[in-house]
């Protein structure tokens, strides 16, 4: 008897049409509804994806144009306006200080030279970051880079003396 019950196909009722279907059925053979939860979710997701472009198209090309122009111009506006003087000014100041210090003959001991090199490296880095990331204070950043580069040359000159 136990064997018999095992052989009998296990069925359940379709939640959509109440007909008996196989328990493992992913789709109902009577109403063709998707029973499997995962499969159903996948089909619904596919359905949504297919409808989204249609909705966008129906919204009109004007909306699409506004949207694309806003997203295209936003990064440019951010770069030119959201700049900070905290990059070019320190770069310029460091450039001036190190250039003056290195042109002065007293700055010849190793400790001072190492300290100055750190300053020059920082000044150069700040100037380069400033130029690559923003338009604000570009002149100062260029002057800073030039001064720091000059300082670097002086630094190398002092070192090899």
Q: Which residues bind Zn ion (CB under 5 A)?
A: 14, 16-17, 28, 30-31
Q: Which is nearer to Zn ion, 16 or 85 (CB)?
A: 16
Q: Which helix (H) or strand (E) holds 52?
A: helix 37-58
DSSP assignment string, 68-86: HHHHHHHHHHHHHHS--TT
Distance (Å, rounded) from C-alpha 87 to C-alpha 131?
9
Q: How far apart are CA 60 and CA 43, in angstroms?
A: 27
- Residue number, 17 or 45, with CB nearest to Zn ion: 17
C-beta of 43 vs 81, nearer to Zn ion: 43
**Least distance between Zn ion and beta carbon 30 (Å):** 4
- Residue 161 contacts residue 146 (beta carbons within 8 Å): no
Closest separation between CB of residue 59 and Zn ion, Å?
37
Neighbours of 102 (CB within 10 A): 25
Q: Is 26 or 30 the residue whose CB approaches Zn ion more closely? A: 30
Query: What's the closest the beta carbon of residue 48 comes to Zn ion, in angstroms?
Result: 23
The residue among 33 and 47 lying less far from Zn ion, judged by its C-beta, is 33
**Least CB distance to Zn ion at residue 19 (A):** 5
State the minimum distance, in angstroms, from the CB of residue 4 to Zn ion.
Answer: 27
How far apart CA 46 and CA 89 sit, in angstroms, is 54
């Amino acid at each position: 008897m136990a064997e018999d019950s095992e052989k009998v196909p296990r069925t359940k009722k379709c939640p959509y049409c109440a007909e008996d279907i196989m328990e493992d059925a992913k789709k109902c053979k009577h109403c063709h509804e998707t029973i499997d939860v995962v499969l159903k979710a996948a089909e619904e997701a596919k359905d949504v994806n297919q409808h989204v472009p249609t909705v966008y198209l129906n919204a009109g090309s004007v909306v699409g144009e506004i949207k694309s122009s806003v997203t295209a111009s936003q990064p440019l506006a951010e770069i030119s306006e959201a700049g900070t003087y905290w990059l070019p000014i320190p770069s310029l100041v460091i450039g001036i200080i190190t250039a003056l210090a290195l042109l002065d003959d007293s700055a010849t001991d190793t400790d001072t030279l190492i300290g100055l090199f750190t300053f020059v490296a920082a000044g150069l880095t700040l100037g380069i970051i400033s130029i690559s990331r923003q338009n604000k204070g570009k002149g100062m950043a260029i002057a800073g880079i030039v001064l720091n580069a000059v300082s670097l040359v002086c630094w190398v000159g002092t070192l090899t003396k």
